Amino acid sequence: MVFAFFPRAEARFTARHRTLIREAAALAGPLVLIRVMRINSLSLLGTYVGPQTTREIFAGNLRRGEGRTIRAVLLLGDLRGFTRLTEQLPSTDVIDILNRWFEILEKTVVGHGGEILKFMGDGFLAMFAIDEEREVESCCGAVAAVASALPQLDTFVAELRRTAGITVGYGVTLHAGTVVYGNVGGRERLDFTVIGTAVNRVSRLQEVAKLLGEPVLASRDVAQLLPDRFASLGAYPLRDLDGAMEVFRLVRSTSPSEVAGSPFSFTNNGLS
């Protein structure tokens, strides 16, 4: 931050003026430093926990067990075949693959109004908060993020196969529901995250996606808001949860531009 002082018209600074400027700078210095440190802290924290969570933390919502109940579309991603990669490749190559995978999803999720809550090995959990008065529009953001990522993800896995002989797949699942957004953890280490049955269901939905070999699956809670974008695959039981869930695959566009950039014949193999 820079301060500039200029005399009026053709006047010059007197010795008294220069003394006042030095005194003003001395007084403003600590305040400027605090402001710069806050900006840097916001930027650094946002890199690790996301902008929404950063705002919650800086607002003082730090007490363990505190949270607020919200509705959200949860998006869970999984890189299939990652376990085998860690056994076959040097760690630097594994990290490079992970970074490319996460970078594609980060760009599309954040670009469509979502926030990545955490990275978990080769998986990630993202959230799109639902505006109750614009529920369909909120859901559209999550679906648009996935749809825009698919051609890039297909290119990503195809390039790994062609250039390095590496076979991986991916799975992305979507579920809408009520979650508690807040702090959990120990006394000295907290995690600002979401918990609730919706988180359990989007996780179990990922297992069904792998079983079916589908790259994208959604629950009825998401599909019913955008019926033209999804097709039912029937109901499947969810591990450790009562009842079966009807699952829906994303109907992908067949426009020339998307077909040209996305190999639709590619089938995820579910190696991990």
Domain limits of the chain?
A: 13-49, 61-261
User: What's the whole-model pTM score?
Assistant: 0.73
Using alpha carbons, select from 99, 80, 267, 64 the residue that is nearest to residue 172.
80
Contact 251, 228 (CB under 8 A): yes
Residue 4: strand, helix, or coil? coil
- Selected residue with higher pLDDT from 141 and 64: 141
What is the helix (H) or strand (E) element at residue 191, kind and residue range?
strand 190-195
If one counts every other C-beta atom within 10 angstroms of the C-beta of residue 64, the result is: 14
> What is the CATH number assigned to the segment(s) 61-261?
3.30.70.1230
Residue 55 has pLDDT above 60, yes or no: yes
Q: What is the dihedral of CA 100, 106, 108, 112, to 10 degrees?
A: 180
Give 47's pLDDT tier (boundaries 50, 70, 90).
low
DSSP letter string, 239-269:
TTSSSEEEEEEE-----HHHHHHS-TT----
Kindly state the percentage of the chain with pLDDT values over 70.
Answer: 78
pLDDT at site 215: 94
- Selected residue with higher pLDDT from 256 and 240: 240
pLDDT at site 50: 63
